[in-house]
C-alpha cells in the first residue's frame, strides 16, 4: 500500500491510493468557532431541508451539533473508535486483514437519537463554590459542556473513498469535495463502516448509501455551503483551504488582494487558531475548529490533536497539550488580524477567496476577484439631530 | 390550488436521492460494469450522475416572507419554491441568482445597517414550511357540538366533538352573539404578542374591540413578562438596546436569562463581546447552557437573586466605587426624604414663596405637577429641584449624604435624609457579602471579586429575563437594585452599558403610529387586567390573602366582589374589570400557556357559573386552547396569508412586512378578514342608533371592498409615527427597513443622559425610594431582599433578618423541596412548532427518536384534536416525548433512572412525566431546593396519562401559580404610556399620533399592571413508573470516564 505524508501528524502512513503529485489549487475547507456556537442547530435543519428530506433519509442528519461530552450521533462514535485504536495508530494502519480501514457499523438504535445529551453538562454541582476559568492561571471550568458541530470533513485521505470496493467514491479534481456516486453504489456499506466521523449513511429505502455533498451545487456557483450561510451564530467561514501566502490575485484581478485565503490563515499560518477534529484517525479532515477556551485542555488534546507523546507536526508548543493551551489563548484573546477575519464570518454567502485587514476595516474578494465584503469592525454610532427625535417614541 | 400533506411530502421529497433512485433503480442496474475507475482520489471518469444533486437543489422560483413568532426577533427568509410548494428556506442575504429584493446583495445591509446583522433566522424559520404542512392544522371553521348560543354548556369544552360549518355560519353566530350583548364591555379580545400581526391579523381584533366598546387583554402582564421594577425606577416599560449594542460591553452579568437559547438570531453580538476583551459572569441556580460561555458562574439559590444585586451594591458603596456626579445628575439619590412619612420633601414645604402642587392626588396626575423637590447644596442650604432640572441642569452640586433636621416654612422641624443615605444605610447594615452568601449561597469572595470587576469596567451591562420576573420579589426589588447599581456606576445611556430584560414582544412602542389604527377616532378598547380573572371569574373562593400575595397586611382591598362587576381595590380605579361573555382568542395558546392551569380549566373554562358563554379561538393548529373553544376558526400560516402585515421587535431596529409565498392549503381566513366579516354582519344586526360608531363595517372596508387595499391601513399607520413616517409600504415590500430613532443602535435613555431630558417619573430621575402609599404600606418603598411567598425553605414573605430563623412548613414538614423551572425551549417558540416533526425530535432530546413512526405523532394529534366518534386509534409511539430534567442525586433518592416516569405534585395540581437525569440541575444537596427543569411549551398530549389519579388536566402548567402583587395595583405610579415621549411631544408635528402626549399614571396594559409571578412555588416529586424503554445513554458506557478525562488511546489522563 502506498505511503502518504500526513502533515497533521507530521509523519507518513499508509493510504490505499496515490495522491496527486501536487496539491489542488482549490480545496474545500471550513473553520468553525466553537466559542460562538449556541447549539441552535440551524445548520442541521438547513442541511436536512436541502439534502435529506426524502424517504429512507428520515434518520439522516448529515450536519448535526452534539453537546460534548455526552452527546453523539451516532451514540458514542468517537470514544468507541478511540478505544479501538492504538496510540499513534491511524485507522488505515489499524485495519484488519482483508480490510483497508478500521471502523465499525453503528447500529440503527445508535442513530436513533440525534439530540441525545443535547445541552447536558459534565461535572459536579459546585456547592459552596463557583465555576471559573482563567487561562492565565491555567484554570478551566471543572464543570463543562460545549457544542461540537459535526459534518463531513471532505478529508484529504478520505476513509470512505479508501474503503469502497466499487470505487464509487471519489474526490473532485476541482474542489476536493468527496462524492459518492449514487448510480454506481451497490450499498455494501463499507463507507458507512469506515468513516470515523460516521457521515456516509445507508438509505434502506433505496438500498444505496449516501454521503454529504459539500453543497457542491453552491460551491460551483461561488457560494458557501448551507450550514455556513445559515449559521446565525456566525461561527463559520468557508473557502479555499489550499490558498497559501504565495497565491496570486483571484481571477487575475489586480484590484483584489492576493495571498492567503482567510480560512488558510486561521488553519495554517503561524497564528494557527483552528485545529482538525481527531487528526489521529489519519484522514486529514478539512474542517478546522477554534476550540472552546473554558474546557479542560486534556479533553481537547484528545479531540483536536494527534494526541501522541511526541509532537511531530508544526503546531505551536512542545507538546500537544501546550498546543491546545496556546490556541485556546489565541481564541480567547484574538489578535487584531484574527479579529478582522472573524468579522467575515456570516457576512456574505459568497465564497471569500482573499481578504485584507487594515486598521479597523476588513475586505473580501471572491474567486473572480470581485469585492464581496467591505465592512468596519464596528458600526459607527448614529445620533439624529433635532429635538423631535427620541429612543422612546 | 389544493395540496394535501401527502402531496407536500411527495413534493418536498421530489428530486431527493430516494425518489429518483427508487424510480431509476432498474436503469442503473442495466448500465453497470462499463465504467472503469483507476484512482478515485485523483480523478473519476463519469460524473454525469452529479446532476442528481443539482436536481435536488434546483427550484422554480424564490419568494420571501418573515418568520415572526413570539420569540420577538422577526427574521426575513427566502423560500425556495418547487411545483408551488416551498421546499426550503434560507436567510435573505443569500446572493444566489433568482433571490428577490432583500437577498440581493447584502441582506440586512439593505435595511441600512452593516453586514454584522447577517444572517437572521433560526431552525424554526427553516421549518416553517413543515409546520405549515403538519397534521395539527385546523382545516375549516368548526363549532363544538355541545354548544349553542342560548345554552353554552361549558362543561363539554375540551371533550365534545366538533362539526364543520361554513365561514358564513361561523361569522353569523359570532355577530349574533355580539349583537345580543347588553353591555359591549362583555366582548373581549385576547391576543398575545403586542408587536406583530398588527393590522391584518389579531390587531384587527383590537380595532374591533375599540370601535365596539369591548375589552382587550394581553398575555404580557399575565405571564409575568412585564418587568415592573423598570417602571417603578424609570417610569419606562422596559429599557433595552438593539442587540448590536451588546458587543460594546466590557463586562456582562447575565442573571437568570438563558440568552443563548431564547434570543437566537442576534445572539452573536453577545458572544462577540468576549472576542473584544469583554468578560461575562453568569448567575443561575443551574448550569444554564449560557454558563458555558461565561468566565465565571455564580450558583445562586433560586429566588434569592435580589440579595445578589444588593451584595454588589454593598461592595460598591463600601469601597466607594461609585460615580457621584452621575448619581447627582440622574437619580433621586441626592433628593431629601421626610423621615416621618417617607415622602419626598417638597419645595413648597421649605420655601414659603414656592407654589405648591394640587392637594388632590388625582388632580396632580392630571396637571402633571407633583410639586418640586429639595436637595442640600454644597453649603448645606436647601435648593429646590424641579422635575426638569436633571443632568447638567441639576441645581448646585447637591450633597448625596445628608441626614439632618430641617426647619420647614411652617416653622416645624422635620428629620430628613437623602435617598442615598436611606439606601446606603440599609444596604451596609443588611447586605454585606457574608450575609448575602447566607442568603444566596454565592461565596462572598466571588461576589466581591465580581462586584469590583464590574465597577472597574468602563462599560458594563446586566441582563435579567423571565426566569427572574417569575419570582415574586425578583421582578421588583432585583430590578430596582440593578438600576441602583448601574446608576451608581454611570452605566446608563451609552452603547454597551445598561440594564436589559428582553422578555416578551412588548415593543409595539417602536411602531408609534399604531394608535391611529387600533384606536381610530378616539375609540379605545378597555384594557382588561387579566390577573383578576383568577380572583373573580375563577369562581373558586380564593383566599385573598394567599393568592394575592397580600401577606396579612392592612390594605383596603376588596377582592371578593360581585363576579359580574367586581369591586376594585381602592386607588385602582384605572384597572378595568369586566367579565367576558364572549372571549375571542387570537394568536395565543392561552390555555396551554396559562399558569395554575387546573384552576383555569375548571373554573374559567368549564364552570357553568363562572365561564364565558362563547369562546372563539382563531389558530393555525388544533392547540389545547382551540380544543377547548366553542367556535374554532382556522388561520393561514405566514406562508399562506393573503394580506401583508408588519412587525417590530425589542432587540433589533427593523420593521418587517410579511406576505404569503404560496396558496392556502385549507379553508382559512386571516384574522383581519374574519373580523371585517363580523363587522359587516354587525351593521346588519345592530340598528344605527344602538351602535357605538356609525358603522362597524366602515372601519374594515379595505378588507371587504374590491377597489380598496389593506396596505393603506399600513401606510396610514406608518405615516402617523416618528419611527416610520418616511417609510413607504413599497419600501418594506422589498425588504426590511430600519426604524428612525434618536440613535442607532438604539440606546435606552440616550437623551436622558446626553441631553438632560427627564426620566418618566414624578421626580424626572431614576427613583430608588418610592413614596407612593402602596409601597409605603407594604414596607417595600426601598431596596430590599424579601423571601418568596412560597418558594423558599425559610420564613415566607419576610426580610432575611426574620426569615432566616424560620422554616417554611411546606418545605420542611410537607417536604415540597423542589422548585419547578419552565424555561423557554429552543426548538419551539413557546408551544409553536410543538408538533413539527424535526423540531419535536430535537425538543425531546434523549427521547426524540428518528425511528419512531411519524404516524405516531399524527395519531397523537388526531386522537386529541380531531376525535371521530368512539374509535380510539391504535397507540403508536410518537417522535418525541416531554421530559423533566432532574439531578442524578435527587433521582437516585427516589430510585429513578434516566427515562423512568415521575409524578410531580404541587399545591395546585400534578403531572406525570419522564425523567432525564441531568447533572446541570441544582441538587437539593446544594443546601436548599432542588431544581426540576421542564422546558415550556409542550402540548398536553405529549405527556402520559396519570392512570392512578388522573383528573383530566395534564400539562406542564398544572403545578404553576399566578401570584398577584398588591404593590402593583396602584393608580399612583407615574409612567410614560406605551406610545409617545412626553419630553418632546410638543416638538413633533400634528400628524404624529402621539403629539401632545403627557405622562400617565396607574394601570396601562403592558406597562403597569400586576404581573403573574408564576414560578414562585414548590413541588414534590415521586417515582411513578419504571420505563418500558430507555433511550441510549452515553454516560452508561464504561469508556466515558476515560473519554472525558482525555485518556483514551493512551493519552495523558
Contacts of B741 in chain A (CB under 8 A): 384, 389-391, 393
Q: What nine digits make up the cell of B215?
A: 375589552
Q: What are the boundaries of each domain within chain B?
A: 241-501, 813-960+1017-1044
One-character DSSP codes across B826-887: SSSBTTBTTT-HHHHHHHTGGG--SSS-HHHHHHHHHHHHS--SS-PPPP---S---EEEE-
* pLDDT above 90 (res B967): no
Check if the beta carbon of residue B679 is closer than 8 Å to that of residue B697. yes
The nearest alpha carbon in chain B to A108 belongs to B851
Residues of chain A short of pLDDT 50, as ranges, are: none
Strands B743-744 and A382-383, how do they pair? antiparallel
Asked if the model's pLDDT at residue B487 lies above 60, the reply is yes
Minimum-distance CB partner of A223 among B96, B292, B741: B96
Q: Which residues of B touch A85 (CB under 8 A)?
A: 1049
| Cβ distance of B1052 and A79 shorter than 8 Å | no
The percent of residues in chain B predicted with pLDDT above 70, rounded, is 90
A390 contact B CB<8A: yes
Residue of A nearest to B47 (CA): A181
A41, B114: Cβ pair inside 8 Å? no
Q: What is the pLDDT of residues B880-921, one digit of tens each?
A: 889 999 999 999 999 999 999 999 998 888 999 999 999 999
Are B295 and A133 inside 8 Å of each other by CB?
yes
Q: How far apart are CA A134 and CA A155, in angstroms?
A: 35
The predicted structure's pLDDT at residue B1051:
52
A132 inside domain: no
Task: Give the three cell numbers for residue B745.
Answer: 443602535
Average pLDDT over residues B197-203: 94
What mean pLDDT is reported for chain B? 89
Q: Flag whether A29 is in a domain.
A: no
Tell me, rounded to whole angstroms, the distance of Cα B120 from its chain centroid.
Answer: 20
From the list A64, A58, A29, the residue with the least C-alpha distance to A43 is A64
Q: What share of chain A is helix, strand, coil (3-state, %, to 5)?
A: 20, 20, 60
Q: Which of residues 234-293 of A touch B (CB under 8 A)?
A: 234, 280, 292
Q: How far apart are alpha carbons A273 and A267 in whole angstroms?
A: 6
Q: Does A349 touch chain B (CB under 8 A)?
A: yes
Q: Indicate the helix (H) or strand (E) that contains B330.
A: helix B324-330
Position B608 scores a pLDDT of: 82
Q: Does residue A184 fall inside a structural domain?
A: yes
Which secondary structure element, helix H or strand E, spans residue B325, and what is its range? Answer: helix B324-330
pLDDT tens per residue across span A95-152? 999 999 999 999 988 999 999 999 999 999 999 999 999 988 999 999 999 999 999 9
B751 close to A391: Cβ distance less than 8 angstroms: yes
Residue-wise pLDDT tens digits, B576-610: 777 889 999 999 999 998 888 887 888 789 888 77
Q: Give the C-alpha separation, A116 to B1037, whole Å.
A: 14
Question: What pLDDT, on the 0 to 100 scale, is given for residue B431?
Answer: 98
The distance of B418 to chain A (nearest Cα, Å) reads 29
d(CA A393, CA B17): 53
How many C-beta neighbours within 10 Å does residue B164 have? 12
Q: Which of B844, B988, B1044 to mutate to test the interface with A (most CBs of A within 10 A)?
A: B1044
| Residue of chain A minimizing CA distance to B59 | A50
Instruction: Report the alpha-carbon distance of residue A205 to residue B395 in Å, rounded.
Output: 81
Instruction: Identify the CA nearest to B256 among candidates B463, B99, B433, B454.
Output: B463
Helix and strand counts by DSSP (H, E) for chain B: 37, 33
Q: What is the mean pLDDT of residues B513-534?
A: 84
Classify residue A83: in a domain, yes or no.
yes
**Helix and strand counts by DSSP (H, E) for chain A:** 10, 17
Mapped onto helix, strand or coil, the DSSP state of residue B281 is strand
Cβ distance B589 to B831 under 8 Å? yes
Q: Answer yes or no: is pLDDT of B422 > 80.
A: yes
**CB nearest B1039 (choices: A41, A79, A387):** A79
Give me the mean pLDDT over the B21-25 stretch. 36
Identify the helix (H) or strand (E) that includes residue A170. Answer: strand A169-171
Which residue in the set A51, A124, A171 is minimally distant from B56, CB to CB?
A51
For residue A57, give the nearest of B18, B847, B989 by CB distance.
B18
Pairing relationship of beta strands B215-217 and B526-527 according to DSSP bridges: parallel
Closest CA to A392 of B975, B1008, B333: B975
Q: A192 with A234, same domain?
A: no
Residues A199 and A232 in one domain: no
B38-56 mean pLDDT: 96
User: Residue B344 in contact with residue B410, Cβ under 8 Å?
Assistant: no
For residue B869, what pLDDT is reported?
A: 42
Range from B18-22, B260-264, B543-547 that averages highest in pLDDT:
B260-264
- Per-residue model confidence (pLDDT) at position B19: 39
Residue with more model confidence, B122 or B1037: B122
> Does residue A172 sit in the same domain as residue A319?
no
Using the CB atoms, write b or e for B462-490: b if 16+ within 10 Å.
bbbbbbbbbbbbbbbbbbbbbbbbbbbbb
**Count of all residues that appear for chain A in the document:** 393
Residue A328, chain B, CB below 8 Å: the answer is no
For residue B43, list chain A residues with Cβ-Cβ distance below 8 A: 170, 173
What CATH number was assigned to the domain covering residues B241-501?
A: 3.40.228.10
Query: d(Cα B141, Cα B631) in Å, to the nearest integer?
Result: 7
Nearest beta carbon to residue A182 from set B17, B89, B1039:
B17
- If asked whether residues A155 and A275 sit together in one domain, one would say no
What integer is the mean pLDDT of B851-868? 68
Burial of B795 (0-12, 13-18, 19+ CB in 10 A): middle
Question: If you measure CA to CA, which chain B residue comes closest to A20?
Answer: B42
C-alpha grid cell for residue A86?
492504538
Instruction: With beta carbons less than 8 A apart as the criterion, state whether B308 and B456 touch.
Output: no
Cα B257 vs. chain centroid, distance in angstroms? Answer: 12
Q: Which residues of A touch B116 (CB under 8 A)?
A: 343, 347, 375, 379
Distance of CA A183 to the CA centre of its chain: 28
The closest alpha carbon to B926, from A125, A124, A121, A123, belongs to: A125
What is the rounded CA–CA span in Å between residue A282 and residue A8?
8
Asked if residue B21 has pLDDT above 50, the reply is no
**pLDDT (tens digit per residue) in B635-679:** 999 999 999 999 999 999 999 999 999 999 999 999 999 999 999
DSSP string, B529-549: -THHIIIIIT-S---HHHHT-
Q: Are B525 and B216 in contact (CB under 8 A)?
A: yes
Across the interface, of B18, B289, B987, the residue whose CB is closest to A387 is B987
Confidence at residue B100, expressed as pLDDT on a 0 to 100 scale = 58
Q: Quick one: closest CA in A to B43, which residue?
A: A173
Q: B113-117, B215-219, B575-579, B838-842: which has the minimum mean pLDDT?
A: B575-579
Note the pLDDT tens digit of each residue in B994-1048: 999 999 999 898 899 877 777 778 999 999 999 887 778 888 889 999 999 999 9
Task: Give yes or no for residue B570 having a pLDDT over 70.
Answer: no
> For residues B549 and B789, what is the distance between their CA atoms, to the nearest angstrom?
7
Interface test with A, best of B1034, B1035, B1045, B1052 (most A CBs within 10 A): B1034
Radius of gyration for chain A, computed over Cα atoms and rounded to the nearest angstrom: 21
Tally of domains within chain A? 2
Contact B297 A132 (CB under 8 A): yes
- Asked if pLDDT for residue B877 goes beyond 80, the answer is no
Kindly list the residues from chain A whose CB atom is less than 8 angstroms away from the CB atom of residue B747: 391
User: CA A368, CA A6: separation in Å to the nearest integer?
Assistant: 31
Strand pairing class (A64-68; B336-338): unpaired
Dihedral, CA of residue B72, residue B76, residue B79 and residue B85, to nearest 10: 40
Domain shared by A199 and A68, yes or no: yes
- Please, are residues B737 and B731 in contact by the beta-carbon 8 Å criterion? yes
The verdict on a CB contact (< 8 Å) between B509 and A393 is yes
Count of Cβ atoms closer than 10 Å to residue B139 Cβ: 13
Strand ranges for B305-370 from DSSP E: 336-338
Is residue A206 domain-shared with residue A264, that is, in the same domain?
no
Closest-CA residue of B relative to A280 is B1049
Residues A155 and A234 in one domain: no
The secondary structure element, H or E, covering residue B716 is helix B711-719
Identify which of B123, B265, B983 has the shortest CB distance to residue A45: B123
Residue B695 in grid coordinates: 358603522
In CATH, which of 3.40.50.720, 2.40.40.20, 2.40.30.170, 2.60.40.10 is domain B813-960+1017-1044?
A: 2.40.40.20
In-domain check, residue A270: yes
Q: B-chain residues within 8 Å CB-CB of A55? A: 13, 16, 18-19, 22
Nearest to residue B252, comparing CAs of B243, A15, B379, B261? B243
> A-B interface: how many C-beta pairs under 8 angstroms?
454
Distance CA B505, CA A330 (A): 38
- Cβ contact (<8 Å) for B1034 and A125? no
Judged by phi (left if over 0) then psi (alpha if -120 to 50, else beta), residue B116 lies in alpha
- What are the Cα distances from residue B788, in Å, to B181, B225, B676, B785? 43, 18, 47, 9
Q: Which of B123, B923, B983 is nearest residue A42 as measured by Cβ atoms?
A: B123
Scanning B734-789, the segments in alpha helix (DSSP H) are: 750-755, 773-778
Rounded alpha-carbon distances, angstroms, from residue A290 to A141, A152, A236, B895: 17, 17, 10, 41
pLDDT in tens, B308-358: 999 999 999 999 999 999 999 999 999 999 999 999 999 999 999 999 999
Q: How far apart are CA B449 and CA B434, in angstroms?
A: 13
Strands (E), B193-250: 215-217
B121–A232 CB contact, under 8 Å: yes
Q: Which residues of B touch A111 (CB under 8 A)?
A: 850-851
Copy the grid coordinates of residue B679: 363587522
What pLDDT sits at residue B219?
A: 79
Question: Stretch B35-40: mean pLDDT, rounded?
Answer: 92
Nearest Cβ partner for B838 among A48, A56, A342: A48
Expressed as residue numbers, the domain containing A252 is: 226-376
Are both A355 and A296 inside the same structural domain? yes
pLDDT at B564: 54
The answer to the question of residue A393 being in a domain is no
The C-alpha angle with vertex A313 and arms to A312 and A318, in degrees rounded to 5, equals: 70
Which residue on chain B is closest to A115 by alpha carbon? B845
Residues of A in contact with B985 (CB under 8 A): none
Note whether B836 and B130 are within 8 A (CB): yes
- Out of B32, B54, B120, the one facing A217 most closely (by C-beta) is B54
CB atoms within 10 A of CB B378: 9
* Complex-level ipTM beyond the 0.85 threshold: yes
**Least confident stretch, B372-386, B753-767, B770-784:** B770-784
Model confidence band, residue B9 (pLDDT cutoffs 50, 70, 90): low
Judge: A207–B293 Cβ closer than 8 Å, yes or no: no
Strand order through the sheet with B61-67: B61-67, B75-82, B85-91
Phi, psi of B278 (to 5 degrees): -75, 150
Q: Would residue A302 count as lying in a domain?
A: yes
Amino acid at each position: 500500500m502506498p505511503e502518504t505524508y500526513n502533515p497533521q501528524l507530521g509523519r507518513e502512513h499508509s493510504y490505499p491510493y496515490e495522491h496527486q503529485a501536487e496539491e489542488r489549487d482549490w480545496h474545500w475547507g471550513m473553520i468553525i468557532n466553537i466559542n460562538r456556537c449556541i447549539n441552535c442547530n440551524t445548520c442541521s435543519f438547513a442541511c436536512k431541508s436541502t439534502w435529506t428530506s426524502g424517504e429512507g433519509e428520515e434518520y439522516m442528519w448529515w450536519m448535526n451539533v452534539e453537546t460534548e461530552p455526552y452527546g453523539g450521533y451516532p451514540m458514542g462514535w468517537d470514544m468507541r473508535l478511540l478505544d479501538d485504536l492504538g496510540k499513534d495508530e491511524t485507522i488505515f494502519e489499524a485495519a484488519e486483514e482483508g480490510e483497508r480501514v478500521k471502523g465499525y457499523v453503528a447500529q440503527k438504535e445508535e442513530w436513533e437519537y440525534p439530540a441525545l445529551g443535547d445541552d447536558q453538562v459534565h461535572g459536579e454541582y459546585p456547592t459552596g463554590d463557583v465555576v471559573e476559568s482563567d487561562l492565565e492561571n491555567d484554570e478551566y471550568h471543572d464543570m463543562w459542556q460545549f457544542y461540537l458541530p459535526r459534518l463531513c470533513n471532505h478529508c484529504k485521505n478520505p476513509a470512505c473513498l479508501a474503503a469502497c470496493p466499487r470505487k464509487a467514491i471519489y474526490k473532485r479534481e476541482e474542489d476536493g469535495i468527496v462524492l459518492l456516486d449514487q448510480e454506481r453504489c451497490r450499498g455494501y456499506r463499507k463507507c458507512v463502516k469506515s468513516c470515523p466521523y460516521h457521515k456516509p449513511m445507508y438509505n434502506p429505502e433505496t438500498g444505496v448509501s449516501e454521503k454529504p455533498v459539500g453543497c457542491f451545487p453552491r460551491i460551483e456557483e461561488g457560494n458557501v455551503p448551507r450550514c455556513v450561510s445559515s449559521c446565525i451564530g456566525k461561527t463559520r467561514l468557508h473557502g479555499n483551504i489550499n490558498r497559501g501566502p504565495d497565491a496570486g490575485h483571484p481571477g487575475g484581478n489586480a484590484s483584489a488582494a492576493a495571498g492567503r485565503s482567510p480560512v488558510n490563515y486561521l488553519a495554517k499560518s503561524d497564528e494557527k487558531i483552528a485545529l482538525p477534529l481527531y487528526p489521529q484517525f489519519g484522514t486529514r479532515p478539512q474542517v478546522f475548529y477554534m476550540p472552546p477556551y473554558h474546557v479542560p485542555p486534556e479533553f481537547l488534546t484528545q479531540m483536536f490533536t494527534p494526541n501522541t507523546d511526541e509532537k511531530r507536526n508544526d503546531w505551536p508548543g512542545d507538546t500537544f497539550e501546550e498546543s491546545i493551551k496556546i490556541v485556546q489563548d489565541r481564541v480567547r484573546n484574538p489578535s487584531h488580524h484574527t479579529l478582522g477575519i472573524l468579522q467575515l464570518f456570516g457576512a456574505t454567502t459568497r465564497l471569500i477567496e482573499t481578504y485584507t485587514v487594515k486598521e479597523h476595516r476588513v475586505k473580501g474578494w471572491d474567486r473572480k476577484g470581485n469585492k464581496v465584503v467591505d465592512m468596519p469592525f464596528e458600526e459607527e454610532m448614529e445620533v439624529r439631530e433635532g429635538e423631535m427625535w427620541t429612543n422612546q417614541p | 390550488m389544493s395540496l394535501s400533506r401527502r402531496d407536500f411530502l411527495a413534493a418536498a421529497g421530489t428530486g431527493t436521492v430516494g425518489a429518483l433512485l427508487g424510480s431509476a433503480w432498474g436503469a442503473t442496474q442495466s448500465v453497470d460494469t462499463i465504467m472503469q475507475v483507476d484512482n478515485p482520489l485523483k480523478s473519476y471518469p463519469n460524473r454525469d450522475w452529479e446532476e442528481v444533486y443539482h436536481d435536488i437543489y434546483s427550484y422554480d422560483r424564490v419568494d420571501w416572507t418573515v418568520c415572526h413568532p413570539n420569540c420577538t426577533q422577526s427574521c426575513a427568509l427566502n423560500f425556495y419554491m418547487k411545483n408551488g410548494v416551498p421546499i426550503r428556506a434560507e436567510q435573505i442575504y443569500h446572493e444566489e441568482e433568482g433571490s428577490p429584493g432583500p437577498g440581493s446583495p447584502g441582506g440586512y445591509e439593505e435595511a441600512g445597517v452593516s453586514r454584522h446583522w447577517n444572517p437572521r433566522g433560526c431552525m424554526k424559520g427553516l421549518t416553517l414550511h413543515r409546520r405549515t404542512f403538519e397534521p395539527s392544522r385546523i382545516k375549516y371553521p368548526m363549532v363544538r357540538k355541545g354548544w349553542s348560543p342560548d345554552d353554552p354548556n361549558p362543561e363539554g369544552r375540551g371533550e365534545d366533538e366538533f362539526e364543520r360549518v361554513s365561514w358564513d355560519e361561523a361569522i353569523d353566530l359570532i355577530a349574533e352573539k355580539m349583537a345580543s350583548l347588553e353591555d359591549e364591555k362583555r366582548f373581549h379580545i385576547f391576543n398575545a404578542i403586542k408587536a406583530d400581526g398588527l393590522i391584518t391579523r389579531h390587531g384587527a381584533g383590537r380595532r374591533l374591540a375599540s370601535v365596539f366598546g369591548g375589552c382587550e387583554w394581553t398575555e404580557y402582564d399575565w405571564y409575568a413578562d412585564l418587568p415592573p421594577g423598570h417602571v417603578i425606577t424609570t417610569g419606562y416599560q422596559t429599557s433595552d438596546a438593539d442587540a448590536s449594542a451588546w458587543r460594546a460591553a466590557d463586562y456582562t452579568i447575565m442573571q437568570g436569562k438563558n440568552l443563548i437559547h431564547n434570543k437566537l438570531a442576534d445572539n452573536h453580538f453577545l458572544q462577540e463581546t468576549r472576542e473584544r476583551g469583554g468578560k461575562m459572569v453568569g448567575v443561575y441556580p443551574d448550569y444554564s447552557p449560557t454558563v458555558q460561555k461565561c468566565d465565571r458562574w455564580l450558583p445562586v439559590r433560586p429566588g434569592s437573586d435580589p440579595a445578589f444585586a444588593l451584595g454588589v451594591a454593598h461592595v460598591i458603596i463600601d469601597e466607594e466605587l461609585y460615580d457621584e456626579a452621575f448619581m447627582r445628575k440622574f437619580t433621586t439619590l441626592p433628593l431629601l426624604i421626610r423621615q416621618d412619612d417617607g415622602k419626598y420633601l417638597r419645595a413648597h414645604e421649605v420655601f414659603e414663596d414656592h407654589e405648591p402642587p394640587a392637594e388632590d392626588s388625582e388632580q396632580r396626575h392630571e396637571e402633571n405637577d407633583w410639586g418640586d423637590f429639595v436637595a442640600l447644596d454644597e453649603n448645606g442650604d436647601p435648593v429646590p429641584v424641579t422635575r426638569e432640572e436633571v443632568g447638567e441642569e441639576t441645581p448646585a452640586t447637591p450633597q448625596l449624604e445628608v441626614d439632618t433636621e430641617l426647619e420647614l416654612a411652617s416653622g416645624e422641624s422635620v428629620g430628613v435624609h437623602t435617598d442615598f443615605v436611606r439606601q446606603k444605610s440599609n444596604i451596609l447594615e443588611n447586605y454585606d457579602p457574608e450575609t448575602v452568601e447566607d442568603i444566596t449561597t454565592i461565596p462572598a469572595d466571588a461576589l466581591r471579586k465580581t462586584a469590583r470587576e464590574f465597577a472597574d469596567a468602563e462599560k458594563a451591562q446586566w441582563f435579567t429575563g423571565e426566569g427572574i420576573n417569575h419570582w415574586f420579589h425578583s421582578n421588583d426589588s432585583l430590578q430596582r437594585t440593578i438600576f441602583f447599581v448601574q446608576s451608581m456606576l454611570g452605566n446608563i445611556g451609552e452603547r454597551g452599558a445598561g440594564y436589559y430584560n428582553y422578555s416578551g414582544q412588548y415593543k409595539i412602542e417602536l411602531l408609534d403610529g399604531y394608535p391611529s389604527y387600533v384606536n381610530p377616532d378616539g375609540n379605545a378598547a378597555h384594557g382588561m387586567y387579566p390577573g383578576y380573572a383568577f380572583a373573580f371569574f375563577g369562581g373558586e373562593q380564593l383566599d385573598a390573602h394567599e393568592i394575592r400575595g397580600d401577606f396579612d397586611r392592612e390594605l383596603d382591598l376588596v377582592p371578593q366582589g360581585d363576579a359580574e362587576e367586581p369591586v376594585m381595590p381602592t386607588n385602582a380605579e384605572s384597572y378595568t374589570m369586566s367579565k367576558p361573555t364572549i372571549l375571542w382568542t387570537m394568536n395565543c395558546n392561552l390555555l396551554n400557556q396559562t399558569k395554575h392551569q387546573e384552576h383555569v380549566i375548571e373554573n374559567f373554562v368549564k364552570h357553568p357559573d363562572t365561564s364565558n358563554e362563547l369562546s372563539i379561538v382563531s389558530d393555525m393548529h388544533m392547540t389545547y386552547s382551540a380544543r377547548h373553544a366553542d367556535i374554532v376558526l382556522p388561520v393561514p400560516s405566514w406562508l399562506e396569508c393573503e394580506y401583508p402585515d408588519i412587525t417590530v421587535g425589542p432587540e433589533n431596529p427593523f420593521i418587517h412586512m410579511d406576505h404569503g409565498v404560496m396558496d392556502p392549503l385549507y379553508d382559512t381566513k386571516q384574522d383581519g378578514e374574519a373580523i371585517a366579516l363580523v363587522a359587516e354582519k354587525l351593521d346588519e344586526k345592530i340598528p344605527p342608533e344602538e351602535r357605538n360608531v356609525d358603522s362597524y363595517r366602515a372601519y374594515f372596508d379595505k378588507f371587504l371592498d374590491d377597489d380598496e387595499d389593506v396596505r393603506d391601513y399600513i401606510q396610514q399607520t406608518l405615516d402617523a409615527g416618528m419611527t416610520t413616517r418616511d417609510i413607504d409600504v413599497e419600501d418594506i415590500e422589498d425588504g426590511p427597513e430600519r426604524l428612525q430613532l434618536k440613535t442607532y443602535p438604539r440606546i435606552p435613555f440616550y437623551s436622558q443622559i446626553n441631553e438632560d431630558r427627564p426620566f418618566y417619573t414624578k421626580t424626572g430621575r431614576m427613583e430608588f425610594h418610592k413614596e407612593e402609599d402602596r409601597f409605603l404600606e407594604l414596607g417595600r418603598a426601598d431596596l430590599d431582599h424579601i423571601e418568596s411567598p412560597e418558594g423558599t425553605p425559610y420564613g415566607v414573605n419576610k426580610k432575611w433578618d426574620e426569615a432566616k430563623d424560620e422554616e417554611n412548613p411546606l418545605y420542611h414538614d410537607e417536604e415540597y423541596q423542589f422548585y419547578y423551572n419552565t424555561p423557554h425551549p429552543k426548538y419551539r417558540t413557546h408551544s409553536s412548532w410543538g408538533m413539527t416533526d424535526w423540531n419535536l425530535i430535537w425538543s425531546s432530546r434523549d427521547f426524540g427518536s428518528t425511528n419512531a413512526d411519524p404516524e405516531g405523532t399524527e395519531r397523537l394529534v388526531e386522537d386529541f384534536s380531531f376525535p371521530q366518534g368512539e374509535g380510539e386509534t391504535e397507540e403508536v409511539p410518537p417522535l418525541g416525548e416531554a421530559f423533566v430534567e432532574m439531578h442524578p442525586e435527587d433521582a437516585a433518592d427516589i430510585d429513578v433512572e434516566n427515562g423512568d416516569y415521575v409524578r410531580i405534585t404541587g399545591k395546585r395540581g400534578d403531572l406525570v412525566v419522564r425523567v432525564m437525569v441531568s447533572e446541570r440541575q441544582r441538587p437539593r444537596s446544594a443546601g436548599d431546593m432542588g431544581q426540576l427543569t421542564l422546558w415550556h411549551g409542550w402540548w398536553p398530549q405529549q405527556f402520559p396519562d396519570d392512570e392512578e389519579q388522573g383528573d383530566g388536566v395534564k400539562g406542564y402548567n398544572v403545578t404553576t401559580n399566578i401570584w398577584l402583587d398588591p404593590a402593583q395595583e396602584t393608580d399612583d405610579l407615574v409612567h410614560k404610556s406605551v406610545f409617545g415621549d412626553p419630553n418632546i411631544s410638543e416638538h413633533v408635528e400634528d400628524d404624529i399620533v402621539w403629539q401632545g402626549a403627557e405622562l400617565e399614571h396607574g394601570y396601562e396594559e403592558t406597562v403597569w399592571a400586576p404581573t403573574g409571578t408564576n414560578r414562585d412555588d414548590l413541588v414534590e416529586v415521586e417515582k411513578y413508573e419504571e420505563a418500558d424503554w430507555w433511550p441510549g445513554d452515553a454516560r452508561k458506557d464504561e469508556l466515558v470516564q476515560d473519554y472525558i478525562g482525555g485518556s483514551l488511546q493512551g493519552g495523558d489522563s
